[in-house]
């Protein structure tokens, strides 16, 4: 049984980053749970997966997009600008993940927002990442049942409006990573990992006129997953969370009484150390030691790449998308995501649509990529949003 548990742990290691110092590969594909190959090593990369279908259809751009309840993920400060008649809004999203490589992996996201008054809004969300079933075996390869590794995070957010155009948000997050069923590794008991983190966000929007049309120009910023390191043994190595800086802009034009058009663009950079280049003896010959404190890892991430400023630029990913809206009921969307080939190599297009009926909005997105270029090819996301609690 002990061997079976250890086998499950090793299998789980092959599914998650951090544990193998290379964002944990699936099998021998070199692909991580966020769909990238290579890139900066972090634990719990499920925190970086875009959960909802609207932004998922716009190239994973959303930090400055017009607010809905899924701002809990993209930019919690936007929650106070939700322009709906009800006091409450809830959303449920679901996506089968990496289904071209491994069956049974999926991501579910539940999000909620409640408007306290004209300036203050609170939000909460639950993210659950199911890694499918792992077969347990003993030393003789006899079946010992199955184990289902999973990870989840629980968030609470508060957003406050300052004036008519600007807001700030703060989020607290608890993270649980249950990727092992027990056993030992290098003589140490293997446990589930736990961590806490915070997000700090800001949002600015301004109604204006552009090209003779009414327009809404918005800017957003979100520093997310700034928190404790996570480990799976008492005295073993601890790994950085995927701390991330997201900056973005969105521009929405009201073409006439029923037609609108939105363009959104985001920049992303992981705020984690870049591994140095070492010689055969393990000594650093270029770059900086990546075993450092959390503040040093976050602030040092802007200048620690072994390749200098050029490599730092390679660590920035780009997300852009467009949305056409008809009568605030029908929405068509498209987008593109680009990540440098040396820093993950996620490059894909996205398509999607949305339909609003009564208090509900239904969204669907589809990721357009070839299997040769992206393990995320043919990924689908489904989202339903409900507005309720009208006074």
pLDDT at 186: 67
Strand partners, 338: 318, 347
pLDDT at 269: 95
DSSP 85-153: SSSEEEEEEEEE-STTTSTTEEEEEEEEEEE-SSSEEEEEEEEEEEE--EEEE-TT--EEEEE--EEEE
Structure token digits, residue 10: 């090793």
DSSP 256-318: SSSEEEEEEEEEEEE-SPPPPEE-TTS-EEES--S---HHHHHHHTTS--TTTHHHHHHTEEE
Of the candidate CATH numbers 2.40.37.20, 3.90.1300.10, 2.40.160.40, 1.10.3720.10, the domain formed by 2-274+315-388 belongs to: 2.40.160.40
pLDDT values of the chain reduced to their tens digit, one per residue, 391 residues: 333 333 333 334 433 333 322 233 333 344 466 655 557 889 999 999 999 999 999 999 999 999 999 999 999 999 999 987 778 999 999 999 887 777 788 999 999 999 999 999 999 999 999 988 777 666 667 776 777 889 999 999 999 999 999 999 999 999 999 887 666 666 677 788 999 999 999 999 999 999 889 999 999 999 999 999 998 887 778 999 999 999 999 999 999 999 999 999 999 999 999 999 888 888 888 888 888 999 999 999 999 999 899 999 999 999 999 999 999 999 999 999 999 988 888 899 999 999 999 999 999 999 987 656 677 878 899 999 999 876 5
pLDDT at 149: 87
């Amino acid at each position: 049984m002990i061997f079976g548990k250890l086998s499950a742990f090793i299998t789980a290691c092959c599914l998650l980053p951090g544990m193998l110092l290379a964002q944990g590969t699936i099998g021998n594909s070199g692909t991580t749970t966020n769909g990238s190959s290579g890139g900066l090593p972090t634990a719990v990369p499920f925190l970086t997966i875009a959960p909802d279908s609207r932004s998922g259809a716009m190239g994973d751009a959303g930090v400055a997009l017009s607010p809905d309840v899924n701002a809990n993920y993209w930019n919690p400060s936007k929650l106070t600008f939700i322009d709906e008649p009800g006091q409450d809004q809830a959303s449920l999203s679901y996506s089968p993940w990496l289904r071209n490589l491994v069956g049974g992996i999926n991501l579910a996201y539940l999000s909620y927002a409640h408007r306290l008054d004209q300036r203050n809004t609170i939000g909460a969300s639950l993210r659950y990442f199911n890694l499918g079933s792992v077969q347990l075996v003993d030393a003789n390869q006899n079946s010992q049942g199955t184990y289902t590794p999973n990870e989840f995070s629980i968030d609470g957010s508060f957003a406050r409006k300052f004036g008519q155009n600007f807001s700030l948000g703060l989020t607290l997050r608890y993270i649980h990573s249950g990727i092992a069923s027990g056993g030992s590794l290098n003589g140490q008991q293997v446990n589930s990992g736990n961590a806490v983190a915070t997000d700090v966000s800001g949002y600015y929007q301004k109604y204006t006129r552009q090209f003779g049309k009414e327009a809404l120009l918005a800017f957003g910023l979100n520093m997310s997953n700034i928190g404790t390191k996570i480990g799976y043994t008492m005295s073993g190595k601890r790994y950085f969370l995927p701390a991330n800086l997201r900056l973005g802009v969105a521009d929405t034009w009201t073409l006439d009484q029923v037609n609108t058009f939105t363009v959104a663009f985001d920049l992303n950079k992981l705020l984690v150390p870049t591994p140095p280049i070492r010689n055969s003896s393990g000594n650093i010959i270029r770059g900086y030691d990546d075993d450092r404190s959390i503040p040093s890892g976050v602030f040092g991430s802007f200048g620690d790449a072994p390749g200098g400023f050029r490599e730092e630029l390679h660590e920035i990913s780009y997300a852009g998308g467009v949305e056409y809206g008809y009568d605030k009921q029908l929405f068509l969307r498209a987008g593109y995501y680009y990540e440098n080939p040396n820093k993950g190599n996620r490059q894909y297009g996205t398509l999607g649509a949305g339909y609003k009926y009564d208090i509900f909005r239904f969204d669907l997105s589809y990721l357009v990529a070839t299997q040769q270029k992206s393990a995320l090819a043919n990924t689908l996301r489904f989202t339903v949003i409900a507005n309720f609690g009208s006074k």
